[in-house]
Amino acid sequence: MIYDKSNSTRLFYTEKKAGNLIEKREPVGYITIFFGNKLEDIKASQNSMILYMIGTPPINKDETIMNIAIIP
């Protein structure tokens, strides 16, 4: 299990849901500043399944964004 954490206090957006399968390097969402400018894309680090993810856009530094299970 991997816990992906936020590097900063910003807004996180995604169209993915818990239970989705994701492939390595697949975009899973993006982070913006509070005024809407996109800062970075978040991509899957491994082939995995999303087990849990935050339900609201605001995220704090070091907060868990999502929990994934690695699929070999």
**pLDDT for 2-14, tens place per residue?**
667 788 889 999 9
In b/e form, how buried is each residue of 33-65, taking b as 16+ CB within 10 angstroms?
eeeeeeeeebebeeebebeebeeeeebeeeeeb
Mean pLDDT for the stretch of residues 33-46 = 88
Q: What is the pLDDT of residue 1?
A: 52
pTM of the model: 0.82
Distance of CA 29 to the CA centre of its chain: 6
**Domains of the chain by start residue, with CATH:** 2-70 (2.40.50.100)
Average pLDDT, the chain: 88
For residue 12, the tally of other CB atoms under 10 A from its CB is 20
Supply the DSSP symbol for 19. T
